[in-house]
């Protein structure tokens, strides 16, 4: 089967979104301040705390009522409303500083997951499907290149391949018991694996928020940029999945790599 011209253009758009600069570059450009300044202001053990908070935030988001949307494949996503909600939580985090992260991050992550699911639905996904639910969670691992990435590990399809086995096992569990039980081994392993990548993006966000001049207004801007970034990742991801349903995974991957 040969790609239609419009589908090739869609795949080009997806690749531009998925392979775009990471959140570090975007934050640096927005504030004109090297992110390294923020890292120097963080406590020595802060990275471990962010990893722990990120895992907890993802776990809460997964088990919150974020998949209650009705199946309406193709319905336009409400990106702006989700940005406003996340900006509000960001302003609170910016005002109260790092101690507020334990409260702000789970709320922001849940809103972002809701937005990701909304985008998935707009690309023809059925939200009630276990496969779609796990694909939504997968987006948090697709944060784009970061300063700690190895090139061989940061490509879109490389990340999906790394997560494939964990997603398959989690899908089997969810199909049998649903998403209601916390502490399920298959889901825990998947969340840990995704949190390892997502926590890098969160740490970079926290480092910028640690700069004293940023404040509450800066916190809102940071969170708006943060959700915008993951909305882009979601759009690219679900465009690819839509085309995979039409053309098959191998053809889409091969075409993507030649663009």
Tokens of 48: 């471990």
CA-to-CA separations, 42 to 64, 125, 146, 208, 225, in angstroms, rounded: 30, 40, 19, 10, 21
Cβ atoms of 257 and 54 closer than 8 Å: no
Mean pLDDT of 130-135: 88
Higher pLDDT, 37 or 116: 116
For the chain, the domains span 5-258
Name the helix (H) or strand (E) containing 222.
helix 215-247
- Tell me the pLDDT tens digit for each residue of 6-59: 999 999 999 999 987 777 777 777 666 666 667 777 777 777 888 888 888 888
For 207-242, letters b (16+ CB in 10 Å) and e give: bbbbbeebeeebbbbbbbbbbbbbbbbbbbbbbbbb
**Is the pLDDT at 196 greater than 80, yes or no?**
yes
Global pTM value: 0.84
Q: What is the pLDDT of residues 143-159, one digit of tens each?
A: 655 545 544 456 899 99
Distance CA 187, CA 189 (A): 5
């Amino acid at each position: 089967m040969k790609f239609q011209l419009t589908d090739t253009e869609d795949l080009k758009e997806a690749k531009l979104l998925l392979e775009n600069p990471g959140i570090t570059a975007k934050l640096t450009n927005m504030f004109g301040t090297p992110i390294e300044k923020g890292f120097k202001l963080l406590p020595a053990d802060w990275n471990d705390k962010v990893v722990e908070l990120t895992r907890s935030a993802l776990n809460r988001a997964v088990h919150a009522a974020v998949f209650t949307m009705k199946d309406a494949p193709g319905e336009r996503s409400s990106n702006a409303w989700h940005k406003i909600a996340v900006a509000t939580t960001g302003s609170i985090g910016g005002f109260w500083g790092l101690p507020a992260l334990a409260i702000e991050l789970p709320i922001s992550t849940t809103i972002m997951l809701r937005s990701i699911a909304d985008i998935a639905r707009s690309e023809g996904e059925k939200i009630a499907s276990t496969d779609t639910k796990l694909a939504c969670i997968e987006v948090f691992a697709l944060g784009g290149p970061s300063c700690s990435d190895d090139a061989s590990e940061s490509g879109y399809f490389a990340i999906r391949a790394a997560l494939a086995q964990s997603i398959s096992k989690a899908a089997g569990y969810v199909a049998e018991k649903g998403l209601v039980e916390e502490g399920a081994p298959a889901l825990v392993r998947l969340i840990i694996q995704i949190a390892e990548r997502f926590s890098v993006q969160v740490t970079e966000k926290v480092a910028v928020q640690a700069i004293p001049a940023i404040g509450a207004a800066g916190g809102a801007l940071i969170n708006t940029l943060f959700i915008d970034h993951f909305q882009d990742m979601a759009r690219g991801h679900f465009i690819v999945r839509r085309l995979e349903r039409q053309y098959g995974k191998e053809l889409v991957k091969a075409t993507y790599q030649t663009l």
